[in-house]
Structure 1
């Protein structure tokens, strides 16, 4: 057996057409494989960067052009009986030709292909050609054949099995890609090979069990043997002559359990599988790392509706999640190192689950291996989003093939805990005026409620499946009912103030979000606008949400002082995003265990854009990231409205009881105490406690000049409650002193407040695009100090570091 990668020597050509620019027509462009047309044209200097300014608009011709990739490679025939051309991922509508003879066609980016190639190979030089047809032409032809169906955007993404958000989204560019986006190569083999290996891992009563389902492809009918080892235990099972399937069961007693981050360790065990011939020769091998853990989804009815609670190893887990979109529109740029950086940001914000959203792609082995290592739970959507999808051929066959491949591929990963049928499509059918234009045509129901659950039940019965996000558990219940299953809350962003989050007590919030622009350094890299303004041409192009700026302004008008310039607007919109999500998360967590999960929209961006992300398209943390870190802390102290008054709520997501003295003080903005109470917190593991506050604390003498400060223990962060919005509060002009000194390769900034300082934040990227700060959104009372540590490539100017627009707080707008 041998494998030969075919990643070298590729060139790319545009098939002639009137839309192809003269500088590209007829050119042979060096191509990177794996890669995409856009990145090859960019590397050759033939197109501008689609992420900068409005360059995207001039590049739509790429998605309407046919492209030809071609390479020449040497081949030396060995003694193998079979040689296959293996294409792990082609994007999307491809015709594959070897030495002038067609070997196969593809029409699905989300699956791999294997074509017999042996008879066509020549000794010496061989030519491999892959022609990609326009994704637009393919999708529009099927749309016209089957009849259009509603979707959220005026693009035909639901008529092709391809990354939907390539066609643009309310946070993403329209860059309709084509290319050999995953590995391609030759696989020579004899007798038999491992076609699929599917380990199903369970734990019950201290016994770990791996049911190893193996499918072989044969070149003959000889008897075979499958050998498997894991955690020091080895088994062997025969595959009789002519048989193609076998199941080997490995039992491991008292295995070390794999836990989500924050709940325990993540021990992983090498699982090695070898396929052997009758004479004992090894024919093929397969290896992965697995973890022993159980997962269960509790959806039982109760007094509040019906639950949606994930249990891992028997422990109910409050999901502190974020939604994940493709980290770049061009997948070849998403390296393992880049994923590791993003995952570290997730863990740093106390996130324990990533939901891989259904408009993107099935994520890579790197993605899942990193999740396994870090203990990040993963919810993987099947790839359907925000549209009515046709169920006619060729789509049903393609959907079944991709689902079978992806469920099998990902079965080994302990981090994967939930399959979801789609994003918002069942909700869309109910609420988005789809039914009349559909006029009885298919829209995807058969996928979500019949085909996909059957595939998961057959191939991966160890994990739960949920038909949609949102979904209430039954077709008899409105799909976005907060009392049942999962809920998406989007009225807050679209029409209502973010305080409306407090009107919901959902069982599980799978999406909710609030926008803000990216970091200043990200904007300055991506936009040439002079001057930069919230509505300057580049800013407007990088705001993809409908009425996005108007919605941002509505939020500012409800809460914050008026912005005098772009610097104010930038700070305040980022602050308002952080405030909105922190309020929502703390409210939902305060209702544990009725609510058992929140998945914020969204962790990341795929390009520089104003969006709902906590980490922008250049990988910089927005203030929202710091707010998430606090709101998702293992131990949360928060003040919440309850029954016409206020309550102190303590939430404990650790294995140990939380016992600490706590105080709640009503203060003036000048730091003068007006009332105070003390309590002893005793919060059991994985639970919350609600303590009503006495009337003298919740009834201020002067609402515009007072606040509550709650503190627990010696190291806990504060919980604050203001009786009025910042727009109404009588803020004093900000007065502070600041010192800057070197500290461990960075600089330590110590700020001492002479007046109250509300949501003090340092933005060092304004001085050095690589600079970062360790904390943000700090509120100080008069006389208090806070220390910020800034890391940059070289020391930053102390005077600039401690002045506007780098150092900001709400009340520095009082001028």
Structure 2
């Protein structure tokens, strides 16, 4: 019986405004206090303008959730459990006036025996949710303060760290019953845990070793039956656990996106009491093997994912919760976001350690799409006490979630934390501040790897990200994984090339969200990069300064907000694409590039490729190009430029490329045909003749390399701010088509990074492509999907919509 109806909410303590004090409102479960008050019209939308600051009183407020439901008393021998899959976060649970227990962990579920309390007729359930901030402050006072990256003591409570604010997210500190609540009744036994460990034998036989744990109301002998793909195994369970193995001959292998198909098999586990089914659990499994290659080589220590015996270059991004209010995240929304990742040729998402263990929907969708999941345990940018009560809570949440996720073929790695190891070794003053106190090391080196080894030995574990083995600095570029943040914080983006990491698990550059997203959520008058509401949605320290610092070496200084918006979006795309192409050009030495970040949790100026409204920023299209299975990129090698051809296909890449150095007006000054022969899943450097790389006038020439199938490279000899672009090189013709518009664009002079910013005139517009560079005389067709009908379709060809890097030179 799922308890979703009849819930009521009211504030019971704290600095509650008079307009809300004493009020009781309808509540959604699963849900949160903010969303209930918003639905009742008692608070403004927390994401709009500066409303976030108006709601800080909720940080210190306690709440009461209550409901009444009809039920019956327990029969003799019947078990009745009240089950919470997740409470956010500190709560006391009362049932028919009796205290059942306390909770202080958002990342786990709770089960209470209410057989002696449930009664015929009306039953009352009350959940008192206490201020998580006050609880964390009290626990920190008892256990000792430990360093963290942000002001609130998020490291003193087992709650989503970014709920307390981050450098891309709001400080709203959610509270509520965030996962389902139900009453479970049973009188024989139930499947308390089903934990399939899926491997593949050398002869291709799929092996599903099913570990089952039972809860019993009676001490009978039960039969457990497991079925996969028409094959079956059964055993008698006389105790609390059982293990049975189903073999599937010639199992079809599950592959990451871009490497093969993703066949999924249904696993059904049935519990029988004298041949009568009393419980059943269904999972989907996929047959694959996964390891991480870390054997030292001549350079250092690699970090290469190996799936089904095949080394994989991990192309992907970091994932944060897709909405700060987690209960608004639907399976449909997750599918849209993961489909966007697949559409950008990604094959991996890293679930970052300041968020949550994601929902079953997330892993299901990744299973279906072939997206490998790197899963951090929820520790981020802080030191964590190892004393009670935190140790037991961490152990309980880890055991529950590791067991929950074993069936998913997409799950590729368990990782102990985000940046806590490098904080200990490298961040100034952090280690000294401990004065002998614990900081979390035992979690990452003892507790968590022990749980993974016990419950999920089919998957690798890494102590943290970044991580280097032994006594090496965690962020050593030659060993293990690396985070590259000097570019955003200190140096220009060309310095991505300073290091050749073995695996770059974080790197990124900021840019604003789409124009329509800004228009909906931010209403400064006038709107500028430094206006108060705009900066309320810029959470990074020195974020506005870094945007301008990163822009000035490359692009003309914009004179209007619209031009600044386009310039910073373009610069974000250029910066990150340069990093991706550099990393890919060094395969197999570099074996992964995970961009920070794919998505947003609210409308923010951030590092995301897709903004909160789901609109793809120019960065998204730059990633689609940079992660393409076949890539041409110009890279510095030993003081000269070399063409690098990257082939991420199982088939060889044999083609003829046309290289041409020409003026912006289209006059060819030098040309050469290049034969490319790149083996499967390989990288090949190609020397270019000197005449292609030595311009007569570096301000008016471009090098293009184009293959017969359309793979293209455009290289300028100077920065955009210094070249002599035609500022208005584009003409566009707009035609209505089914589902939107067709915009044919022609370049009269070389046009770099042509973009159709259609959401500036049609908020729901989705454009199929962006950042297309066109030589003089070339054309390109953009397709715009929209439900809207424009009275004046030619608006889509107006300069503020149909733009390019050239257009910025017109405002210097």
TM-score using structure 1 length: 0.98
Q: State the match for 1:300 in structure 2.
A: 295
The superposition leaves residues 130-166 of structure 1 with CA deviations (integer Å, 9 ceiling, x where unpaired) of 0011101110001111111111111110000000000
Aligned residue for 2:171, secondary structure, equals coil
Alignment of 1:133 onto 2:130: yes
Q: Distance in 1 between matches of 2:196 and 2:585?
A: 39
| Residue range with higher mean Cα deviation, 635-644 or 600-609 | 635-644
1:524 to 515, 519, 522: 519
Q: Distance in 2 between matches of 1:152 and 1:101?
A: 40
Conservation of the 8 A alpha-carbon contact between 1:16 and 1:26: no
Q: Distance in 1 between matches of 2:35 and 2:670?
A: 63
1:90 to 75, 84, 87: 87
Alignment of 1:507 onto 2:507: no
Aligned residue for 1:429, secondary structure, equals helix
Q: State the match for 1:62 in structure 2.
A: 58
Conservation of the 8 A alpha-carbon contact between 1:648 and 1:692: yes
Q: State the match for 1:490 in structure 2.
A: 485
1:399 to 394, 401, 406: 394
Conservation of the 8 A alpha-carbon contact between 1:762 and 1:807: yes
CA offset at residue 786 of structure 1? Answer: 1.0
Alignment of 1:361 onto 2:367: no
Q: How does 1:21-40 map to 2 (within 5 A)?
A: 21-40=17-36
Q: Distance in 2 between matches of 1:281 and 1:51?
A: 53
Q: State the match for 1:416 in structure 2.
A: 411
CA offset at residue 799 of structure 1? Answer: 2.7
Q: Distance in 2 between matches of 1:702 and 1:37?
A: 63
2:229 to 231, 253, 258: 231
CA offset at residue 750 of structure 1? Answer: 0.7
Q: State the match for 1:208 in structure 2.
A: 206
CA offset at residue 220 of structure 1? Answer: 2.5
Q: State the match for 2:141 in structure 1.
A: 144
The superposition leaves residues 543-586 of structure 1 with CA deviations (integer Å, 9 ceiling, x where unpaired) of 10000011000111110011011011000000000000111101
Aligned residue for 1:306, secondary structure, equals coil
Alignment of 1:748 onto 2:742: yes
CA offset at residue 813 of structure 1? Answer: 2.9
The superposition leaves residues 210-239 of structure 1 with CA deviations (integer Å, 9 ceiling, x where unpaired) of 110011111232111111100111111111
Q: State the match for 1:163 in structure 2.
A: 160
Conservation of the 8 A alpha-carbon contact between 1:747 and 1:795: no
Q: How does 1:600-619 map to 2 (within 5 A)?
A: 600-619=595-614
The superposition leaves residues 322-359 of structure 1 with CA deviations (integer Å, 9 ceiling, x where unpaired) of 00000001111000111111111111111111100000
**Structure 2 gaps, min length 5:** none
CA offset at residue 706 of structure 1? Answer: 1.7
The superposition leaves residues 159-199 of structure 1 with CA deviations (integer Å, 9 ceiling, x where unpaired) of 00000000000000001111110000100011211111100
| Residue range with higher mean Cα deviation, 574-583 or 780-789 | 780-789
The superposition leaves residues 604-661 of structure 1 with CA deviations (integer Å, 9 ceiling, x where unpaired) of 0000000000000111110000000000111111111111111111111111111111
Q: Distance in 1 between matches of 2:78 and 2:730?
A: 79
1:347 to 342, 345, 366: 342
Q: State the match for 1:311 in structure 2.
A: 306
Q: State the match for 1:675 in structure 2.
A: 670
Q: Distance in 2 between matches of 1:170 and 1:82?
A: 47
Q: Distance in 1 between matches of 2:220 and 2:802?
A: 74
Q: State the match for 2:628 in structure 1.
A: 633
Q: Distance in 1 between matches of 2:730 and 2:277?
A: 72
Conservation of the 8 A alpha-carbon contact between 2:64 and 2:126: yes
1:72 to 68, 72, 90: 68
Alignment of 1:594 onto 2:592: no
Conservation of the 8 A alpha-carbon contact between 1:645 and 1:693: no
Q: State the match for 1:721 in structure 2.
A: 715
The superposition leaves residues 353-372 of structure 1 with CA deviations (integer Å, 9 ceiling, x where unpaired) of 11000000000011011111
Aligned residue for 1:310, secondary structure, equals strand
Runs of 4 or more consecutive aligned structure 1 residues displaced over 3 Å after TM superposition: 77-80
**Structure 1 gaps, min length 5:** none
Aligned residue for 2:165, secondary structure, equals coil
Alignment of 1:290 onto 2:285: yes
Q: State the match for 1:571 in structure 2.
A: 566
Alignment of 1:264 onto 2:284: no
Q: Distance in 2 between matches of 1:664 and 1:210?
A: 53
Q: State the match for 1:648 in structure 2.
A: 643
Conservation of the 8 A alpha-carbon contact between 1:514 and 1:612: yes
Q: Distance in 2 between matches of 1:166 and 1:453?
A: 26
Q: State the match for 1:767 in structure 2.
A: 761
1:438 to 434, 439, 442: 434
Q: State the match for 1:800 in structure 2.
A: 795
Q: State the match for 1:429 in structure 2.
A: 424
Q: Structure 1 residues 688, 803: CA separation in 2 closer, same or farther (over 3 Å shift)?
A: same
Q: Distance in 1 between matches of 2:574 and 2:750?
A: 18
Q: Distance in 2 between matches of 1:400 and 1:722?
A: 55
Aligned residue for 2:722, secondary structure, equals coil
Conservation of the 8 A alpha-carbon contact between 2:74 and 2:119: no
Q: State the match for 1:110 in structure 2.
A: 107
Q: Distance in 2 between matches of 1:811 and 1:230?
A: 59
Aligned residue for 1:274, secondary structure, equals strand
Alignment of 1:376 onto 2:371: yes
The superposition leaves residues 77-135 of structure 1 with CA deviations (integer Å, 9 ceiling, x where unpaired) of 46461000000000111100001001121110000010001110110001000001110
CA offset at residue 16 of structure 1? Answer: 3.4
Aligned residue for 1:119, secondary structure, equals coil
Q: Distance in 1 between matches of 2:248 and 2:788?
A: 53
Conservation of the 8 A alpha-carbon contact between 1:734 and 1:756: no
